[in-house]
Chain A
Amino acid sequence: MGTIRYIFRRLGYGLILMVGVVVLNFLLIHAAPGDPAEVIAGEMGGITEQMMADIRARYGLDRPLPVQLGIYLANIARFDLGMSYYFDRPVSQLIGQRIWPTVLLVLTAQVIAIFLGVVMGVLASRRPNGPFSGFVSVFSTVGYAAPVFWTGLMLIILFSVIVPMFPVEGMSSARFRGGGFAYALNVAHHLVLPATTLAIIFLAQYARLSRASMIEVLGADYVRTARAKGLGEGPVIFRHALRNAVLPILTVAGIQFGNLISGALLVETVFNWPGMGRLAFDSVLRRDYPTLLGVLFCASGVVVLANLVTDLSYRLADPRIRTGGR
């Protein structure tokens, strides 16, 4: 099957999943205790009869359920995620602002975690019973067991009280006026702690996985063949072994993307990072359901896209999938 056709098929499937998320949102609004209009309006207080009537008309709440679902789906197809009555702005606008900081945080953490995790795994696999290998095993259990928000708070104590090196709040300095490159540097400086915090849990898992995967691959017959050709250790490990060892890591990286977003939610709350997680937290506090459901919808969309990218890179990395073999 051609790669283009494959992409379209996967996109179609992703679209079906997203429709599923919308239906789920719709069901949640109606399953929640109380009048759906009140759920949509949220507990903002001082809501007028006029606003309630608007909501009812807008969502067709006096019509049969299937029609309501149709209206809801049609709205979302037009990227109309409803109105945040607390922020008094359309949800899509709110999310449009907040999605990029989250994507920046999540991608940075994922790249750090995969890169360092693979490096640690490769080093550990050189001596499966050596001290570094032992360290990787302990580190991966420790990194996995520490709650991510707590790790973040510990880093804040370390880097603001003990060695003040990195800012611990926000995405850029409040009075920062520069633009362009200076602004990017300022953001990067703010990104260090949140991204490190988020990376640690996943780094632990990738290190453990790549250690196991490398140990297995280094025992494979084709690695022996590579050595029998007269290749040195460098090409044997980095060309022949690693190319095969990253395949299971890619699979897990795809599966972990949802968890990465969950982790980002907590990290954004800890570091006041102005992303979707922080937005979700604020909308929970204000019972701002349209925003909360909008965030759920968009975050799921990010996961669907990330899975698509993972599948594609897996296809590129493993010719057995690409050419339809075993």
Chain B
Amino acid sequence: MAKTDTIPEAVSPLREAWGQFLKNRPAVFGLALLSVIVGLVLYGHFLHDADPYDIVWMPLTPPGDEAGIWFGTDFLGRDMMTGLLKGGGPTLLVGLSAALITVVIGILMGALAGYFGGWVDDLLMRLTEFFQVLPALLFAMVLVTLFSPSLWTVAFAIGIVSWPQTARLTRAEFLRIRELEYVTAARSIGAGNGRIIARVILPNALPPLIVSATLTIGVAILFEAGLSFLGLGDPNTMSWGLMIGQNRNYILDAWWPVTLPGLAIFLTVFAVSLVGDGLNDAFNPKLRSR
């Protein structure tokens, strides 16, 4: 082997974690599965483009009974395949935006509480506890019912009920990191509070927050599915949860209109969890040997 005098290239922690992630087989499987699902949801219309509300055949036709209707029809005779391809969009969109709202509120609350401590911490933590007492789905139901359901009210309702966990995690990280030397160093060269929070502490708190944000997407998708199942989603868009809710009264006659959309939700959340677990392992090398 040739000896070189070059210093090994510095590897950023994120890139190193990515390398670790790629060695984790379940995580890579999850990522691949997720890519396929997102690909089908985004570009599925190139394969099969139709209106999910169109009635195409006899109601409750089993999968494969009729050429071209591979996944059967629902209780009104609408094509399940169209519904599955179109129904993922709102689910993923609401899931992602709800997760974004959750993470933004959670990080803001947690960062302020953890950084300033004292009465700010007390006040924000009481608020967090208050929101943890409210049963999340019930509160989201109330919000959506009072303010008429649309994609955005649903996403907002989910965000409003889910942020406390992110806030607690962020607070714990900020409490830990604000005592470290480099924060003192930043303060000693005159960095202001805003700068220290956003540019010094937050980047160092990111790994656990990235993991939590990923898992939050899964929770938000389940949430959206639950609300749509109850008929509280946006009434004008097809979604996986809605398909299950509408077809559940026919479950004893036809398994597929309920089973297939549920399987789609399950696979999506499963893939997101695998990715989240993989990220967690990648950021915590100490735990890997377990």
Contact = CB atoms under 8 A, between A and B. Distances in A.
A300 B229 contact: no
Contacts of B143: 28
A258 B145 contact: no
B277 A141 contact: yes
Interface stretch (A82-90, A109-117, A223-231, A263-271): A263-271
A155 B244 CA distance: 14
A118 interface: no
Interface of A is mostly: helix
Given A32-B146, A33-B147, A270-B248, A295 B136 contact: no
Contact of A147 (B133, B139, B225): B225
A299 B259 CA distance: 30
Given A28-B146, A284-B232, A258 B269 contact: no
A147 B226 contact: yes
A91 interface: no
A17 B133 contact: yes
B141 A145 contact: no
Interface stretch (A45-53, A56-64, A180-188, A285-293): A285-293
Contacts of B266: 142, 145-147, 150
Most chain-A CB neighbours within 10 Å: which of B146, B218, B241, B248? B146
B290 A128 contact: yes
A69 to B, nearest CB: 17
B230 interface: yes
B136 A147 contact: no
B50 interface: no
Nearest to B148: A33
A153 B132 contact: no
A303 B136 contact: no
Interface string B214-236: 00001000100110011110000
Interface string A270-297: 1000000100110011010100110110
Interface in B187-220: 218
Given A144-B273, A303-B133, A266 B147 contact: no
Interface stretch (B41-49, B54-62, B76-84, B250-258): B250-258
Contact of B133 (A161, A258, A266, A270): A258
A39 B146 CA distance: 8
Contact of B142 (A148, A259, A292): A292
B107 to A, nearest CB: 20
B133 A300 contact: yes
A110 B142 CA distance: 25
B133 A304 contact: yes
Contacts of A31: 146
Contact of A255 (B132, B241, B265): B132
B138 A280 contact: yes
B262 A147 contact: yes
Nearest to B132: A258
B119 interface: no
Interface string B120-156: 0000000001101111111101110111100000000
A151 B2 CA distance: 59
B137 A265 contact: yes
Interface in A154-182: 154, 156-157, 160-161
B103 interface: no
B230 A266 contact: yes
Contact of A292 (B145, B147, B265, B272): B145
Given A266-B229, A295-B138, 8 more contacts: A141-B274, A142-B270, A144-B269, A149-B225, A157-B259, A258-B132, A265-B138, A296-B134
13 contacts: A144-B269, A146-B266, A147-B241, A149-B229, A150-B244, A258-B132, A261-B135, A266-B229, A266-B230, A270-B248, A281-B230, A284-B230, A300-B134
Closest 9 CB pairs of A and B: A150-B262, A262-B137, A145-B270, A145-B269, A261-B135, A32-B146, A299-B135, A258-B135, A146-B266
